[in-house]
Amino acid sequence: MPTPPRDLKPEYRFDYSTAKPNRFADRLGPQPVVVRLAPDVAEVFQDADTVNAVLRSIAKPLPAARKP
């Protein structure tokens, strides 16, 4: 195991009261939701687009979920 650089401290204390919002955060856009598929289910689908197409076809007739 490599030894850490000598200028690293074992612990750092940050003053979060002086923190500023990330000015680049709005550029990221909405983050995707990650769903883990069971291995046997994942074998059926070629890629994320195929999974999304199937889920959309199932979800279409369902009533729309309301966001809080």
Of 52, 18, 23, which is closest to residue 37 (Cα–Cα)?
52
**Residue 38, amino acid:** A
Pairwise CA distance, residues 53 & 45, whole Å: 10
pLDDT digits (tens, 9 = 90+) for 31-55: 778 889 999 999 999 898 999 999 9
Q: Is the pLDDT of residue 26 over 90?
A: no
Pairwise CA distance, residues 2 & 8, whole Å: 14
pTM to 2 decimal places: 0.47
Neighbours of 19 (CB within 10 A): 8
pLDDT digits (tens, 9 = 90+) for 5-17: 778 888 889 999 9
| Domain segments of the chain as ranges | 33-61
The dihedral formed by the CA atoms of 55, 61, 66 and 67, expressed in degrees to the nearest 10: 20
